[in-house]
Amino acid sequence: MNEVRHEPALHVQATGNGPRLVMLHGWALNSHVWDDVVEPLARSFTVVRIDLPGHGASPWPPTFDDLESLARALAPHVGDRSIVLGWSIGAQAAMRLALDRPDAVRAMVLVAATPRFLANAEWPYGVEPAVLEEFASRLHDDHEGTVRDFLALQVRGDERAMETLRLLRRRVLAAGATHRAALAAGLAVLRTTDLREEIAQIAVPALVISGEHDRLTPPQASRELAAGLKRARYAQIERAAHAPFISHRDSFLREVEQFLARLPGTAARA
């Protein structure tokens, strides 16, 4: 007799009423990173925040080891015809969902997004492989220090760097430490993902938002991404870095709300 095993469900929070807006956070963080923008968006949307596997309050398993398996773990919680707002690795997961489950994604907002995280000879708009390998090698011996250093890298160049870094650290602590294996899996996703040849297949409307001084996903990477998508608009948040929804909340919300208001059936409420 074959035993059927059911993996625990991911942690999901839903707030508000209206069209479904699913939010996917970045590496080592959790759904608390969205705390500053949930309330205004929930006036017009059902805002659904998902903790990635092993992050925040989500268990491990379900596990993932590449972008495809991460998207499969998220898919049951995304639903059909959702607007998906993804940040960093969450943006890559949103694109993978749009490719693999076109019924699930009706539009995307991609923040600090890139089709390829690592730089190479043909793609100079990424992080040098040695930087990522250093983070990977330190995970085993200094889990917390590795996350702290990654957060510091995210705010470098932002005009509100220290304030944003304090908030990011607070959001990490709000849900406890990310599972070490999930962190390693996330770095593997960032190391191996390359969507440059596939993004032209994504036909849904998209808004690509970049911070002017982002050191992890440079603005040029996001501009190239927007140019490669069929129906994308690019917006840059001046003097921001990797987390513009925290450091420059009002500018971020203005771009997102203007984009969403143009989608059929998503008129904003006062």
97: Cα separation from own chain's centroid? 12
Q: Contact, 136 vs 184, CB < 8 A?
A: yes
Question: How does pLDDT run along the chain (270 residues), one tens digit per residue?
Answer: 344 345 678 999 999 999 999 999 999 999 999 999 999 999 999 999 999 999 999 999 999 999 999 999 999 999 899 999 999 999 999 999 999 999 999 999 999 999 999 999 999 999 999 999 998 888 888 888 888 999 999 999 999 999 999 999 998 888 777 899 999 999 999 999 999 999 999 999 999 999 999 999 999 999 999 999 999 999 999 999 999 999 999 999 999 999 999 998 775 544
Quick one: residue 210, left, alpha or beta (phi over 0 = left, psi -120 to 50 = alpha)? beta
- Which residues are catalytically annotated? 88, 214, 242
Find all residues with CB under 8 Å of 243, minimum gap 6, and list them. Answer: 33, 87, 112, 154, 155, 158, 164, 168, 211
Strand partners, 118: 127
Domain covering 12-261: architecture: 3-Layer(aba) Sandwich (3.40)
Q: Contact, 225 vs 251, CB < 8 A?
A: no
Domain boundaries, the chain: 12-261
DSSP β-ladder status, 46-50 and 82-87: unpaired
pLDDT at res. 4: 38
pTM of the predicted structure, to 2 decimals: 0.94
For residue 168, how many other CB atoms are within 10 A of its CB? 26
pLDDT at res. 3: 40
pLDDT at res. 119: 96
**End-to-end CA, the chain:** 57
For residue 263, how many other CB atoms are within 10 A of its CB? 14
Find all residues with CB under 8 Å of 166, minimum gap 6, and list them. Answer: none
d(CA 153, CA 161): 10
Strand ranges of the sheet holding 20-24, from the earlier edge strand across to the other edge: 12-15, 46-50, 20-24, 82-87, 105-111, 206-211, 232-237
Phi, psi of 50 (to 5 degrees): -115, 130
